[in-house]
Structure 1
Amino acid sequence: MIEKIKTGLNNLYLFKNENDKYLLMDTGVHVKKKKILKRIIQKIGEVKKIKVIVLSHSHADHVGNLKILIDEIGDVRVIAHRNSENILETGKSVIPNGFYPFTEKISKKLKSKKNFSKNIFSKLEKTDMKKVIFIDFLRKEKILLSEYGFENVEIIETKGHSNDSVSVAVFDEKNNKKYLFCGDLIQNLCFKFPLIPLFGENKEELIESWKKIILNGYDKIFPATGKEIMARDLLRRLGKDEKNRI
């Protein structure tokens, strides 16, 4: 069972295993901590049922409540890309570049503000860091989560929006479908086709990640921003963007 927790524009996802335990993807922005905790409890009864937290990337609107959830749950494992280690340890958020002229202006303005990236979310203490499993993809293309109690769930690297972006892939045996939960690799806002995110680190890497997930044949793709899309919609947008030489 998969549950979506909608918090404004952002979506968090809960995945239930056969033992009535949960995997949570992302933790939301810190200023919405009470709302997020309330909605998690409404969905699953108590936060201690969460045994694994996967971070799609380390931007503040995705890791904002990680420290709070670790404290609330206690016995939990956090899985994050190796490149996010310093951010989680220091609590200093990265301000991404803008992928469009107007968002690039916003990015430059934020970067010019002294200490803007500090104290947006709580850093992890040494005891918290021991609960984090930092993964890389130097030897493997995917990380299976069966050892954590979640069969048919895996993590793949999907860089571009950030250098620590990962996605969660789920195989639905009953319906023979493959789903991808991609963080901010795609943003499906109020436009006809899914967009290249408004902000990000490397547009070329992002396009390559788009191509990878298209080739992997996912039936539906669930972004952290906006509604789910079909893979064919992504392919159509990719063709349009490449034609325009983004």
Structure 2
Amino acid sequence: MEIITIKLSFTNCYLLPVNDNYVLIDTGYDYEWKLFREKLFEKNISVKQITHIILTHHHDDHAGLLNNIVSENANVKIVMSALSPGLLEKGENDRTHGGSLVNKRVDFLFNFKMLYLSILLKKKLDKNTNLTFPPYKIRNGDILIHEDTNLRDIGIDIDGKIILTPGHCVDSISILLDNKIAIVGDAAANFLQFAGTKYCVIFITDINEYYSSWEKIIAGNVREIYPAHGKKFNVKKLVKNIWKNKPENMVLFTK
């Protein structure tokens, strides 16, 4: 199966072809609607061809365009963790479960805010990024994932399954395809390696849960990891780096 990458300013979204339609994984920030539309146009894909959106979690850089897409394609079904609806209705990244930056070097970078990160990453990060997004209210037809679930069981004609992968946040889910590809949202990342992230995303709610989710992904017999941030990589990177970031080195996120 061809995995189509929709690379937005900061987030990788993915399209999975299903007959003449597509399943979209994640949506990007709310201010990226024009860019998102342009990326689809470049690939000769219409918003109305998207039958399902699998939301890996509720954060602003993943859920920001839900309302835009639904307003243009009322038939699209949003697939999400059973823990996501209340978080999406609030319209902000959940902080009630705590969370920390993965190490002191990442915390150092955050102290310089968006300007410093923009220089390091050689890309512009929008000043409006503030961990909020347009609230989304679940609709009839949207699909809640309570446990590991085969895609065909929820009407998606693809061989694979959705698994629960908490740790980055409580409602994190990942997609394991039978062709040995895992699309993981922020359950892993290939981003800021120079700062010692070791394939972790920079913000983690529970590091033990996070690495337990890695174990689950590794056990899923996958070969390649497609993250929301950074380039795809071999699952051997997870095997090599699992449990390398220590809880005692993390810095409480209070920004």
TM-score by length of 1: 0.82
Does residue 221 of structure 1 match 2:225?
yes
Structure 2 residue aligned with 1:135, among 145, 157, 171? 145
Q: Which amino acid aligns with 1:184?
A: D
TM-aligned CA deviation for residue 245 of structure 1:
8.7
Q: Which residue of 1 aligns with 2:132?
A: 120
C-alpha contact 2:211 2:243 (8 A) present in aligned 1: no
Matches of 2:144 and 2:153, distance apart in 1: 17
Letter in 1 for 2:133: F
Give the distance between the partners of 1:55 and 1:245, measured in 2 at CA: 30
Distance 2:242 2:191 in 1: 16
Q: Residues 149 and 133 of structure 1: is their aligned pair in 2 closer, same or farther, counting only changes over 3 Å? A: closer
- Aligned partner of 1:160 in structure 2 is 167
Residues 1:205 and 2:206 aligned together: no
Report the secondary structure of 1:182's partner residue.
strand
1:150 aligns with 2:154: no
> Paired residue for 1:69?
69
Gaps of 5+ in 1: 111-115, 173-177
Deviations 1:133-158 (A, max 9, x none): 12111xxx333335424220321111
| Aligned partners of 2:104 and 2:249 also within 8 Å | no
Q: Does 1:181 align with 2:193?
A: no
* Structure 1 residue 124 displacement after superposition: 2.4
Q: Distance in 1 between matches of 2:212 and 2:219?
A: 11
Tell me how large the CA RMSD over aligned residues is.
2.9
Within the alignment, does 1:21 sit opposite 2:31 as a pair? Answer: no
- Secondary structure, counterpart of 1:24 in structure 2: strand
CA distance 1:54–1:197, change in 2 (3 Å): same
Q: Percent identity?
A: 27
Equivalenced residue count is 229
1:209 alignment partner AA: S
Please list the CA deviations of residues 9-57 of structure 1 after superposition, one character each: whole Å capped at 9, or x if unmatched: 3100000012x11000001011212101221232243110000000000
Matches within 5 A, 1:40-119: 40-95=40-95, 96-101=99-104, 103=106
Paired letter, 2:103: Y
Cα deviation, 1:166-203, whole Å, max 9, x if unaligned, reads 0111123xxxxx10000011110252784221102111
Hey, what's the Cα distance between the residues in 2 that align with 1:62 and 1:55? 7
Confirm or deny: 8 A CA contact 2:198 2:245 kept in the other structure: no
Q: Structure 2 stretches of 5 or more lacking a match?
A: 114-127, 251-255
Contact 1:98 1:106 in 2 (8 A): no
Give the letter for the 1:186 counterpart: A
Equivalent position amino acid for 1:62 in 2: H
With a CA cutoff of 8 Å and minimum separation of 6, indicate the structure with the bigger relative contact order. Answer: 2
Between 1:82-91 and 1:57-66, the stretch displaced more is 82-91
Task: Note the C-alpha offset of 1:239.
Answer: 6.0
- Residue 230 in structure 1 maps to residue 234 in structure 2: yes
Q: Is the 8 A contact 1:186 1:194 kept in 2?
A: no
Q: What TM-score, normalized to structure 2? A: 0.79
